[in-house]
Structure 1
């Protein structure tokens, strides 16, 4: 409710969701991760936007009230994670309540906060906002990515269900499981993340 991603929600002492919106959310398909080509993909599990006083960003989290620059800054770091593992997936879906609401690409470069060990946090310095939603019930990419590969990845993921489990904001999800074998498309049909593998 606080992200603004479901239209028509009212707070009148209790949360009131329109029935049609709930029915559309219930019908959203699961993300097909098999087309990504990597063995796993990192997922950023986001919450509603919160104001922060940090260099380079004024917000952390996802919300439809943020513009594209604010969203990119809010979602591209500082996360406790394995940055090489995040980059290996080629894409970082951002979820709210188990639904993909934004997609980041351009994850090949990062910087750390200088903390040694597992407490270190990382920011992806060349991250791009490939897409984001203003309305989860009618998932249309609100961004206009210049890179066709970014547009393709956003189109595949935005609005889908993507379950993940983690004690922190970054989770790692296998792209192939017993019920999700590897896709049988040719390399030419797959996103750029698969090239060279």
Structure 2
């Protein structure tokens, strides 16, 4: 069942990329904008993954999972551009802290948020990394899905960097190229929460199956 879900996600992503290339550029730009369908689906999916993880943590009493809930909520807030809430610059950018126009109070708050997120990442991965690595070696679905999430994240970030670099150097010769970059980047980012959501559900299912077998 879960193989079908994973396959359905990648099929959906491919279909979205194809559809957004077939429709007029104005529609593609609208759907991949901050207020567009792709961004909205990504936000909803991240919140859904956080909610599902919270229920799993509550039922299983796996306390490190609460850090995962926090990180998933932060992913959703990032999709809503909350990381640019102060000055329009990302809290994750070094320019936010070294640019003179940003008030020092906002810099301190930004550093506190980064410190909290860093601590959350450390706490969660310290508990989850060994289990994930073992699952990856056994080629278990949830572990492979999480690896795919990181892969999609790196790929989308690479596309975003390339997009920015080419724009800075004025290397665009056709309007369709920036649109293509935006389409692929946003659709790949949508795949991340969708895979995360199914991976959590799959892991939960496997855990319950193991518990039944043990009893």
TM-score (norm 1): 0.27
Bigger share in helix: 2
TM-score (norm 2): 0.25
- Whose RCO is larger (CA < 8 A, sep 6+)? 2
